[in-house]
């Protein structure tokens, strides 16, 4: 049974470019993660972004969270999870 994650972020004013750089880095990193089936970012309107993630199991989610911890922490500098 797969685990799906859907999250929306709103970029802070004038920090869209920085946030988009982070999303690209996260997406690139996820390509090599075992158990990550889908990891895609979408523009969801002016300054809003949506990420769709699919993992094989809880362990795959934990691996992603651990490997991406630094990048995920930095997202808070440029956007709010809504």
pLDDT at 62: 96
Show the low-confidence residues of the chain (pLDDT under 70). Answer: none
pLDDT value at residue 79: 97
Q: What is the pLDDT of residues 2-12, one digit of tens each?
A: 999 999 999 99
Whole-angstrom distance, CA of residue 46 vs CA of residue 26: 21
Q: For residues 49 and 41, give the distance between their C-alpha atoms in angstroms, rounded to a whole number.
A: 7
pTM summary value: 0.90
pLDDT at 1: 85
26 half-sphere exposure, CB direction, 13 A CA radius: 25
pLDDT value, residue 38: 97
């Amino acid at each position: 049974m797969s685990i799906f994650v859907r999250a929306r972020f709103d970029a802070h004013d004038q920090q869209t470019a920085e946030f988009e750089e982070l999303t690209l880095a996260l997406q690139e990193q996820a390509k090599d993660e075992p158990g990550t089936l889908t990891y895609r970012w979408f523009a969801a309107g002016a300054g809003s972004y949506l990420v769709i993630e699919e993992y094989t199991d809880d362990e795959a989610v934990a691996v992603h969270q651990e490997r991406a911890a630094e990048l995920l922490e930095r997202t808070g500098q440029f956007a709010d999870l809504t």
